[in-house]
Chains A and B, each alone.
Chain A
Amino acid sequence: MNRYPVWKYAIIVIVLLVGLIYALPNFFGEAPAVQVSAAKTTVKVDAATQTRVEEALKAAGLTPDLVTLDAGSLRARFTTTDDQLKARDVVQRALVPDASDPPYTVALNLLSRSPKWLTSLHAYPMYLGLDLRGGVDFLLQVDMKGAIDKKAESFASDLRTTFRDKNIRGTQVSRNGQTVEVTFRDAASLETAKRLIVDQFPDLSTTDAQDGTNWRLTATIKPEAARRLQDAALKQNITTLHNRINELGVAEPVIQQQGLDRIVVQLPGVQDTAKAKEILGRTATLEMRMVDESAEGRAAELSGAPVPFGSEKFLDRSGRPVIVKKQVLVTGENLTDAQPGFDQQSNQPKVDLTMDAKGGRIMRDVSRENYKKRMAMLIFEKGKGEVLTAPSINGELGNRFQVSGSMTVAEASDLALLLRAGSLAAPMEIIQERTIGPTLGADNIEKGFKSVMYGFLAIMVFMCLYYALFGLFSSIALAVNLMLLVAILSMLQATLTLPGIAAMALAIGVAIDSNVLINERVREELRNGASPQAAIHAGYDRAWGTILDSNVTTLIAGIALLAFGSGPVRGFAVVHCIGIVTSMFSAVFFSRGLVNFWYGNKKKLKTVSIGTVWRPKTGSADGTAVVETK
């Protein structure tokens, strides 16, 4: 009755092997490494880069003990930090000839010491959270209202142009918060306008009302369009952050969306928060608008006269006022690249700009209509705008055009950086920030590890003393549980945090419950006079229902934590949930396998080594220990 078929043992062996392989990389520790990643979207890190790096290292007499290449980054591992530092300089010289325009980012990193064959099986160690390795952690909030406001403004100007083109007269278009309001003189033009909006602006929904002699149309952005817009804004902000963080040369940064309007940025190893914030916090949006060159505009620019309606005043970087129209031509969204260079003819520094198709089309139209007029490039930071440059248009512009004029080389590369670093679709602010020093991280990891280890040892000693051989089986099952937990976390490449380690310790406590249930049950069966084999069988069988119920309820709590938790709570919940699942396997299936292996083949089993089985005096009529008379 207590035998497993061969296939069950096969499952156990396979699971153990796989578990072992994937848990293994966590025990090798970390070695210094140099990481090469692309600093530009146009540059790829591939096999050719690998050859270049390897050749450069060879020439310098350095031999990395492992070079790995994965999607987007190349890492070379060294045995000493000395070699690592030398190697970084060598690679930097080989790959980045011009420091002002780096195609690659070369950063110091740590790489698992695990041997090549493990790495080639895609067995990587768990990723350590910042609380365990030190670094900065930011939570950024994206101003979605700002993004929608801006979109509404651009709809307003689009509608204005469309009505003009279609000869709908006597309209007035204005933005009111996130809606666009249009007034008409007669009902007929309102009808035409409505049809036009349905045809050409599928993202807008309209309502109309009559108000005295005026007909009013209110256009709102449809909820699904607003959602799409917000989503796109968030994605673009994440991309922009990626570009900016690349400049910091951080190995393995984490940039993730959290919730609907938040972004988490984690920079391991970075201690200089001020620098990191400065780069992240360039919460800039780039806009190109026409300079108001009407007489009133010029007057305002030169003598400080009132700014004409439909225009705004901004200062340029040297503090001179520039009067700019409110209508935005293109935003940084449409700008794909900006590179500093030299103009061949005038030999002056310039910045080459590349726009996407939509941006190119707009530039072509704008430049045709506004030949010889000035166009301002504005950067908005924390709601304040500044004119980066306001060159005049000297020809028809297209997808690619250049900005040149009185700039120094430094100014040109600065401008290019500001333009290229990309702009954000919506402003962001840092709402949470944590810095964990590297010593604190090392402390945390040591303390967490100790608490798991001592807890585990204490339970193991107790189980072996209390339940003898069955206690040993339980302890082995517990060790397997811990190994599988680590293996699954490594396979998922989950981030291990201190709360995660706490959950691991707790998982040990909870996992032992199943074994205690089983062992107590077996004892009880023996007490009630069952034969050893029958007692083992019944013990496992009857405990199963209870184990299932109690684990499912615990899992419900774990899933709730996972669903609503964030940050540390989530880190806890992931390990907690996985721990429950692995404990079901190890405590029931695996430990039964061990017991069956040991006792299953013994036909005339007299005793089971499960500690004392105490029997009350026979004949006690009441209570737990009812001994059945046979």
Chain B
Amino acid sequence: MEFFRIHKTIPFMRHALVLNIISFATFALALFFLFHRGLHLSVEFTGGTVMEVAYEQSADIGKVREAVTKLGYPEVQVQNYGTSRDVQIRLPTQKGMSSDQQSAQVMQALKSVDPSATQRGIEVVGPQVGEELTTNGIKALAMVVVGIMIYLAFRFEWKFALSTVLANLHDVVIILGFFAFFQWEFSLAVLAAVLAVLGYSVNESVVIFDRVRENFRRYRKMTTTEVIDNAITSTISRTIITHGSTQLVVLSMFFFGGPTLHYFALALTIGICFGIYSSCFVAAAIAMWLGVKREDLIKGPVKRDGDPGGDDPNAGAVV
């Protein structure tokens, strides 16, 4: 089987400017939603009580909400969780009541409506844990960004490091933007997915830049734009197959992993889609704007034109 029969180098960079403007617009939009609507943070971050209740028959969400509201909770979220028989109830922390009392009271109210209600799980989180998680999340993000930049600057060149990291932040912000726009629940698992995407999407850029470096060595007469176009074209089959495979697994998690892995898989899906796009158009384009040159990547004495073996793949290679 062979999906990609590409006759010519695809001039990706010809459209770079337009796509970059689009990227910038989506990025700005994501930022806007992020600040305007904010993330729908899970109980791990906000503190509070989350109860999971199972019914024998499909649960009537309206009745459940009514029963809980009667107890004097102004703001209660009730939603199906996984199947139609499982309900998740989120209660804000109430002063003067322990979580035990809270959950006992709620269970009693629910049982009086429908005796088949059984408590499957409960999660209670104090507010200070949440604050810490947020700071740790930001620290982890910073450490990933700095670590990747240092590694890339060391292995490649600062221009690549910078463009890769910018492209990655673009991915991360867009994932967050999606979560803000749709008000999907942002849990610790989603945070893990976002950070995993960060590492994963660098892969993409690294593979392309690796090829860019190789092309600079190999085709000495190509312009930078041509080199980048060629690098993207010749790795596009691998890019799509790899991401396709990863996406297969992620879809499997999305469909079979149950509600806990639902948003985790969703975050990864968005990350994968934007990872492909951003490494082709954002990372490579930024590197181009930053003016990556042959000399940036190929250190050491540059051979004069007309040297023997001008097309030698190893010409200019430094060990």
Q: Which residues of A contact B (CB under 8 A)?
A: 131, 139, 141, 273-274, 277, 430-437, 439-440, 443-444, 447-448, 450-452, 454-456, 458-459, 462-463, 465-466, 498-499, 502-503, 505-506, 508-510, 512-513, 516-517, 520, 524, 542, 545-546, 549-550, 552-561, 563-569, 572-573, 576, 611-614, 616-617, 620, 622-625, 628
Verify B248–A509 contact, CB threshold 8 A: yes
How far, in angstroms, from A451 to B253 measured CA to CA in the complex? 5
Verify B140–A564 contact, CB threshold 8 A: yes
- Residue of A447, A546, A573 near B261 (CB, 8 A) is A447
Per-position binary interface string of chain B over residues 1-22, scored 1 when its CB falls under 8 Å from any chain A CB and 0 otherwise:
1100111110000000000000
Contacts A509-B246, A520-B237, A565-B192 hold; do A454 and B252 have CB atoms under 8 A apart? yes
Q: Which of B67-75, B116-124, B176-184, B297-305 contacts A (4 or more CB under 8 A)?
A: B116-124
How far, in angstroms, from A350 to B1 measured CA to CA in the complex? 86
Verify B151–A435 contact, CB threshold 8 A: no
- Residue of A141, A506, A614 near B2 (CB, 8 A) is A614
Residue B185 is within 8 A (CB to CB) of chain A in the complex:
no
Q: Which of B30-38, B57-65, B142-150, B280-288 contacts A (4 or more CB under 8 A)?
A: B142-150
How far, in angstroms, from A513 to B126 measured CA to CA in the complex? 41
- Residue of A439, A502, A555, A613 near B253 (CB, 8 A) is A502
Within 8 A of A (CB), among B252-306: 252-253, 255-258, 260-261, 264-265, 268
How far, in angstroms, from A551 to B238 measured CA to CA in the complex? 16
Contacts A139-B129, A274-B100, A499-B189 hold; do A434 and B248 have CB atoms under 8 A apart? no
Q: For residue A465, which residues in chain B have a CB less than 8 angstroms away from its CB?
A: 1
How far, in angstroms, from A568 to B45 measured CA to CA in the complex? 13
Q: For residue B250, which residues in chain A have a CB less than 8 angstroms away from its CB?
A: 455, 505-506, 509
Determine how close the nearest CB of chain A comes to the CB of B90; give it in whole angstroms.
Answer: 14
Verify A550–B206 contact, CB threshold 8 A: yes
Q: Which residues of B contact A (CB under 8 A)?
A: 1-2, 5-9, 44, 52, 54, 82, 99-100, 118-126, 128-129, 133, 136-137, 139-141, 143-144, 147-148, 151-152, 155, 188-189, 191-192, 195-196, 198-200, 202-203, 206-207, 210-211, 214, 230, 233-235, 237-238, 241-242, 244-253, 255-258, 260-261, 264-265, 268, 311
Contacts A520-B238, A564-B137 hold; do A433 and B1 have CB atoms under 8 A apart? no
Q: For residue A434, which residues in chain B have a CB less than 8 angstroms away from its CB?
A: 121-124
Verify A447–B258 contact, CB threshold 8 A: yes
- Residue of B122, B148, B249 near A557 (CB, 8 A) is B148
Q: For residue A277, which residues in chain B have a CB less than 8 angstroms away from its CB?
A: 100
Additional pairs, 6, CB under 8 Å, beyond known A273-B100, A443-B82, A451-B252: A431-B128, A517-B242, A550-B207, A557-B147, A564-B136, A623-B7
How far, in angstroms, from A274 to B128 measured CA to CA in the complex? 23
A457: nearest residue on chain B (CB-CB)? B252
- Residue of A448, A452, A554, A564 near B143 (CB, 8 A) is A564
Verify A569–B143 contact, CB threshold 8 A: no
Determine how close the nearest CB of chain A comes to the CB of B297; give it in whole angstroms.
Answer: 13
Q: For residue A498, which residues in chain B have a CB less than 8 angstroms away from its CB?
A: 260-261
How far, in angstroms, from A432 to B124 measured CA to CA in the complex? 5
How far, in angstroms, from A505 to B8 measured CA to CA in the complex? 36
Contacts A434-B123, A447-B258 hold; do A572 and B189 have CB atoms under 8 A apart? yes
Q: For residue A499, which residues in chain B have a CB less than 8 angstroms away from its CB?
A: 188-189, 192, 264
Verify A437–B120 contact, CB threshold 8 A: yes
Q: For residue B256, which residues in chain A have a CB less than 8 angstroms away from its CB?
A: 447, 450-451, 454
7 contacts between A and B (CB under 8 A): A434-B122, A436-B120, A455-B249, A458-B248, A459-B245, A623-B9, A625-B6
A436: nearest residue on chain B (CB-CB)? B121
Verify B2–A568 contact, CB threshold 8 A: no
Q: For residue B54, which residues in chain A have a CB less than 8 angstroms away from its CB?
A: 439
Q: For residue B242, which residues in chain A have a CB less than 8 angstroms away from its CB?
A: 512-513, 516-517
How far, in angstroms, from A616 to B264 measured CA to CA in the complex? 42
Verify A455–B9 contact, CB threshold 8 A: no
B139: nearest residue on chain A (CB-CB)? A564
- Residue of A273, A432, A549 near B206 (CB, 8 A) is A549
Q: For residue A565, which residues in chain B have a CB less than 8 angstroms away from its CB?
A: 136, 140, 188, 192
Q: For residue A553, which residues in chain B have a CB less than 8 angstroms away from its CB?
A: 148, 151-152, 199, 202-203, 206
Q: For residue B196, which residues in chain A have a CB less than 8 angstroms away from its CB?
A: 503, 506, 557-558, 561, 572, 576
How far, in angstroms, from A444 to B264 measured CA to CA in the complex? 14
Q: For residue A520, which residues in chain B have a CB less than 8 angstroms away from its CB?
A: 235, 237-238, 241
How far, in angstroms, from A447 to B245 measured CA to CA in the complex? 20
- Residue of A433, A447, A567, A614 near B188 (CB, 8 A) is A567
A624: nearest residue on chain B (CB-CB)? B234
Q: For residue B265, which residues in chain A have a CB less than 8 angstroms away from its CB?
A: 502
Q: For residue A443, which residues in chain B have a CB less than 8 angstroms away from its CB?
A: 82, 258
Determine how close the nearest CB of chain B comes to the CB of A444; give it in whole angstroms.
Answer: 6
Verify A546–B246 contact, CB threshold 8 A: no
- Residue of B7, B214, B237, B246 near A512 (CB, 8 A) is B246
Determine how close the nearest CB of chain B comes to the CB of A33; give it in whole angstroms.
Answer: 25
A572: nearest residue on chain B (CB-CB)? B192
Q: For residue A448, which residues in chain B have a CB less than 8 angstroms away from its CB?
A: 257-258, 261
Q: For residue B140, which residues in chain A have a CB less than 8 angstroms away from its CB?
A: 560-561, 563-565
A509: nearest residue on chain B (CB-CB)? B246
Q: For residue A509, which residues in chain B have a CB less than 8 angstroms away from its CB?
A: 245-250
Verify A440–B120 contact, CB threshold 8 A: yes
A551: nearest residue on chain B (CB-CB)? B203
How far, in angstroms, from A572 to B185 measured CA to CA in the complex? 18
Verify A568–B143 contact, CB threshold 8 A: no
